[in-house]
């Protein structure tokens, strides 16, 4: 499948801080999706992006679909303890979803 | 709760055995997708079914097969199991088979092969 490069791999953040993570790919995608996965659970959809340049918010989350269709970023503002988890980007093309390796977020109280 | 259900939640079996994982999509969703998540490979797309027919194939081994039934539930069959098949297996569903549809994931089945 297509290779997605997600960074950073992990981050420790202070409660109240803003967080940013991104994904890049050598391939073009029709859709970018951001998921959060808690231990032992399935990924939960946070934000879906459908058009190049699209900027979408969901509460404290904001994500953008890159103009080139090969990248996307996710911002979390004013982080709280329940933001802990693994965040995955996913690019969709040809009915297939390709996932990044994930960003593990740990919040320091 | 995504509305996607998977059974069983945990499965422990031995090498060489065969198991069947079951998935029920969200009400009204026609597409079902299967994924494997392991520590070294991350989340890997295996296969997609749309309204009973295979739509797309990913990194699915020949020892694995799937099907989607008329009631739209799906089963993933894993045979001649190897230690390396131990992983979390997720099912996801979407409203249609379109490549831009959002996919919603079930809670997963944790398979342990001893």
pLDDT digits (tens, 9 = 90+) for A68-88: 999 999 999 999 999 999 999
Alpha-carbon gap, residue B79 to B85, rounded angstroms: 10
- Position A60 scores a pLDDT of 97
* Of A3 and A18, more confident: A18
Residues of B in contact with A30 (CB under 8 A): 99-100
pLDDT of residue A22: 97
Q: Which of A55, A97, A53 is nearest to A74 (CA)?
A: A55
Residue A96: pLDDT band (50, 70, 90) is: confident
Mean pLDDT confidence for A51-77: 96
* pLDDT of res. B103: 87
Mean model confidence pLDDT for chain B = 93
**What are the residues facing B36 on neighbouring strands?**
B44, B89
Tell me what pLDDT residue A108 has.
77
What would the two tokens of residue B1 be? 């709760």
Question: Which residue in chain B is spatially nearest to A90 when comparing CA positions?
Answer: B43
Interface test mutation site (partner B, options A28, A40, A42, A45, max chain B beta carbons within 10 A): A42
Flag whether pLDDT at A94 surpasses 90.
no
User: Does residue B2 sit in helix, strand or coil?
Assistant: coil
Checking if the pLDDT of B114 tops 60, the result is: yes
Residues 6+ apart with CB under 8 A from B33: A97, B45, B46, B47, B48, B49, B91, B92, B93, B94, B103
Q: Which of A1, A30, A88 sits opposite B58 (nearest CB)?
A: A1
- CA A88, A94, A49, B102 dihedral sign is negative
Inter-chain touch B55–A95, beta carbons under 8 Å: yes
Those of residues 26-65 in B touching chain A at CB distance below 8 A are 33, 35, 42-45, 48, 55-56, 58-59
Enumerate the residues of chain A whose CB falls inside 8 A of the CB of residue B108: 40-42
The whole-number pLDDT of residue A107 equals 80
Residue B97, pLDDT above cutoff 80? no
pLDDT of residue B99: 59
A81 in helix, strand or coil? helix
Give the CA distances from residue B35 to residues A22, B12, B46, in Å, rounded to whole numbers and listed in that order. Answer: 22, 18, 5
pLDDT per residue as tens digits for the range B2-30: 899 999 999 999 999 999 999 999 999 99
Mean pLDDT of B32-44: 89
Q: What is the DSSP letter of B25?
A: P
Choice among B22-26, B38-42, B62-66, B96-100 with the minimum mean pLDDT: B96-100
Give the separation between CA A20 and CA A34, rounded to whole angstroms.
Answer: 12
- Could you say which DSSP state residue B105 is in? E
- Interface touch B106/A33, C-beta < 8 Å: no
Angstrom distance (rounded) from CA A67 to CA A85 = 28
Q: Which of A84, A85, A103 is closest to A15 using CA atoms?
A: A84
Q: What number is the average pLDDT over the span A44-64?
A: 95
């Amino acid at each position: 499948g297509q290779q997605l490069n997600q960074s950073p791999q992990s981050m420790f953040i202070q409660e109240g801080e803003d967080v940013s993570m991104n994904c890049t790919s050598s391939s073009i995608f029709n859709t970018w999706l951001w998921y959060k996965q808690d231990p032992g659970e399935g990924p939960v959809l946070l934000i879906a992006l459908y058009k190049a340049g699209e900027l979408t918010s969901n509460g404290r989350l904001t994500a953008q679909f890159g103009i080139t269709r090969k990248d996307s970023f996710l911002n979390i503002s004013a982080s709280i303890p329940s933001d802990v988890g693994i965040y995955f980007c996913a690019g969709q093309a040809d009915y297939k979803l390709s996932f990044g390796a994930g960003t593990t977020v740990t919040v320091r109280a | 709760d995504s509305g996607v259900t998977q059974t069983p939640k945990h499965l422990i079996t031995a090498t060489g055995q065969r198991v069947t994982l079951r998935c029920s999509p969200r009400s009204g969703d026609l597409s079902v997708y299967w994924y494997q998540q392991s520590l070294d490979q991350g989340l890997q797309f295996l296969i997609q079914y749309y309204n009973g027919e295979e739509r797309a194939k990913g990194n699915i081994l020949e020892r694995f097969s799937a099907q989607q039934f008329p009631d739209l539930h799906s089963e993933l069959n894993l045979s001649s199991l190897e230690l390396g098949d131990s992983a979390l297996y997720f099912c996801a569903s979407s409203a249609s088979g379109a490549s831009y549809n959002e996919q919603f994931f079930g809670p997963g089945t944790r398979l342990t092969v001893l």
